[in-house]
Amino acid sequence: MHEPLVLSGKEVSASVFDDLKNKIEDLKNHDVVPGLAVVLVGEDPASQIYVRSKTKTFNKLNLHTETYRLSSEVTEVSLLDLIKKLNQDPTFHGILVQLPLPKHINSDKIINAIDPNKDVDGFHPENAGLLSIGKPRFIPCTPKGIMRILNHYQINLKGKHVVVIGRSNIVGRPISILTSLKSEWANGTTTICHSGTPDIKSHTKNADVVVVALGVPGFLTSKMVKDNAIIIDVGINRVDDDSVKGYTLVGDVEWEGVKKIASAITPVPGGVGPMTIAMLVENTIEAASDHTSELSEPIQSQYHHSLQPAK
Ligand code: GUN
């Protein structure tokens, strides 16, 4: 029976953490402990889980982290005041405001207030702009993690048709830029599909690589993909069931059907998810190392190395 290569983010993230441990040690020898401030507004259950898991990872690596939990009724002004304070706090090299924010808060205004040199999410317009011209400072964590998975499994996008489903600033837009950049491991031909695309299947059927980041359980079915396609599933959706937990986590890909056709596929859980946190740690270390000029070797992510011009 056909078995695809399962692209394990769990394994790739473990090797990323192994590399990062040396860099953390190096920084500690220079009296620098990378620090991340996390701002969590309200009670969104998914956000609570994500933030808990980020904090756990930072603590395990003996990094400095603090979570600022604010009521869902917090005013925009108080939130801006907190960001101002965090921008000036030298113990925090990175600041992350967990999204989504409550409706009464203008997310753009909050993101714009973060010091772009501490914007480890890569969401600030300055960082989004730098990425779009192929000179990234901080690359958003989930898209960076996807590129790292492809890199780890030696999947080169050169000459490949990549179809991205979703155009969010968190995943869809930046991954469409990364996959199409003129660089050694990218250089793909990328199409973005979104809610305004009339016939998504007509695009995915021709794709060598499909990245689906919609948040719709089982959206991508076997009928929508061509034989031997490479499938990257960014969705993490809770589907209620009769299990002990009361729910199962599923991706945006209809796993049972698509795995029979794909040549390689990321699972959910254990695919893209673990990479997001690994890249957040990496970005925070990059932010911290900007303050330290005498490291034994320059701290640059593997992905920055692979952003060399295409031959
Ligand atoms: N919400 C969902 N994904 C993310 C992320 O990568 N960063 C932040 N700040 N919020 C998110």
121 in catalytic set: yes
Report the pLDDT value the prediction gives residue 82, as an integer from 0 to 100: 98
Report the pLDDT value the prediction gives residue 184, as an integer from 0 to 100: 86
241 in catalytic set: no
Q: Which two tokens stand for residue 151?
A: 């890199």
190 lines ligand 1 (CB under 6 A): no
Per-residue pLDDT of the chain (311 residues; tens, 9 = 90+): 679 999 999 999 999 999 999 999 999 999 999 999 999 999 998 899 999 999 999 999 999 999 999 999 999 999 999 999 999 999 999 999 999 999 999 999 999 999 999 999 999 999 999 999 999 999 999 999 999 999 999 999 999 999 999 999 999 999 999 999 999 889 999 999 999 999 999 999 999 999 999 999 999 999 999 999 999 999 999 999 999 999 999 999 999 999 999 999 999 999 999 999 999 999 999 999 986 655 555 455 555 545 555 55
Ligand 1 atom closest to the CA of 97, numbered from 1:
9
120 lines ligand 1 (CB under 6 A): no
119 lines ligand 1 (CB under 6 A): no
Report the pLDDT value the prediction gives residue 306, as an integer from 0 to 100: 54
Closest Cα partner for 83 from 68, 100, 101?
Answer: 68
Ligand 1 atom closest to the CA of 121, numbered from 1:
7
d(CA 58, CA 36): 8
283 lines ligand 1 (CB under 6 A): no
Alpha-helical runs (H) found in the chain: 9-29, 45-60, 76-88, 107-113, 125-132, 141-152, 172-180, 200-204, 255-258, 272-289, 302-305
d(CA 65, CA 10): 22
Secondary structure (3-state) at 209: strand
Report the pLDDT value the prediction gives residue 217, as an integer from 0 to 100: 97
Set 54, 118, 144, 160: catalytic member: 54
Distance of CA 237 from the midpoint of ligand 1 (Å): 15
40 lines ligand 1 (CB under 6 A): no
| Pocket probe mutation, ligand 1, options 44, 96, 99, 275, max atoms within 8 Å of Cβ | 99
Name the pTM for this structure: 0.95
- Cβ atoms of 141 and 280 within 8 Å: the answer is yes
